[in-house]
Amino acid sequence: MSFFTDDAELQRIGALIEGHARPIYAARGVPFEQFAYVLLQPGRDGAGPRGASLRANWRAYPCSLVKVFHLVAAQLGLEEGRLTAHGELDRAMRDMILWSSNSATNYIIDLLTGTTGDTLLGDAEMAAWRERREGINRIFAGLGWPELAGINLNQKLMDDLRYGREKIALDLSPGGHNCLTPTAMARLMHEIFSESTLLPPARRAITRDHLARHADSPDRGRGAYQLLGYLGEALPKGTQIWSKAGRTRWLGDDRASFRRHDTLRAILPQGQEFLLTVFTQGEAIAEDDGFLPAIGSLVAAELSQP
């Protein structure tokens, strides 16, 4: 059972997404099983969201999409008194989303779990360290959402291989690398951008503000801004955009290399609203700066039809 209701019109658009993506994958020799999406629109008359999806439960290395979970975890920690507000935390939350900073993310993980990644520990100390790090998973397990089954958030974000405690923790982790599914990501975005009880209104507003992207920003051309090459790049002028993307090239580890994902909420100039989450894997796709923008443009064009 999903948190959204299958919708015929969105399924029609979903078929167009698949029809666009499948021949590109085939031409580049990438298995189409390494493509997934969830497309949502708000429900009518107060009902839950409507949607369409492909491989919504694909367990995939999520790149920096996990940072939305860390942002929500930090806001919950502040609200519940497990974290104390301070300037460096504010700066880290901003940079984690705005510039997709791994260093900022790892600072927040340290604060949330009371762990630091450094030199090796003895067995007993390492076991205690791993138990504390698992706290990031317990935060979301406590929500009881079935869409979060099988996800893993207990690894720090790295630009290449891991060393010391982080390497040992990865080798011992039952969940392995960080892992999300498209439906887990879509559910969290839905909760952020609906009137849910996940966060109180003030903290929900802060979270939304961090995720905002501006097509006319002077930072638009910076790769770290994560607009060019992603779902929001080719949306119509005047579209409001909130998003978080992730991308890996070669990391020295096949389990995490060559992914490009994005999760986006958009309100088109005529008021049509949608949430779109896309996961991809494969070097020829991850290196293609035009693949995700074309999908975002396709969805916008279809939803703008009279």
- Kindly give the pairing relationship between strand 212-213 and strand 259-267: unpaired
Question: What are 47-85's pLDDT values in tens digits?
Answer: 899 999 999 999 999 999 999 999 999 999 999 999 999
- What pLDDT is attached to residue 67? 98
Where do the domains of the chain lie? 5-303
Helix (H, G, I), strand (E, B) or coil at 12: helix
- What pLDDT is attached to residue 306? 81
Helix (H) or strand (E) holding 71: helix 66-80
- What pLDDT is attached to residue 159? 85
Indicate the DSSP class of residue 136.
H
| pTM greater than 0.85 (yes/no) | yes
CA distances from 249 to 181, 196, 218, 228, 246 (A): 20, 36, 26, 17, 10
Question: What are 7-32's pLDDT values in tens digits?
Answer: 999 999 999 999 999 999 999 999 99
CA distances from 31 to 35, 229, 231 (A): 8, 21, 21
Tokens of 71: 């942002």
Which residue ranges of the chain lie beneath pLDDT 70?
1
- For the domain made up of 5-303, give the CATH fold: Beta-lactamase (3.40.710)
- What pLDDT is attached to residue 46? 80
Tokens of 199: 């966060």
- What pLDDT is attached to residue 244? 98
Q: Which residues neighbour 145 within 8 Å (Cβ) at sequence distance 6 or greater? A: 3, 184, 187
- What pLDDT is attached to residue 1? 57
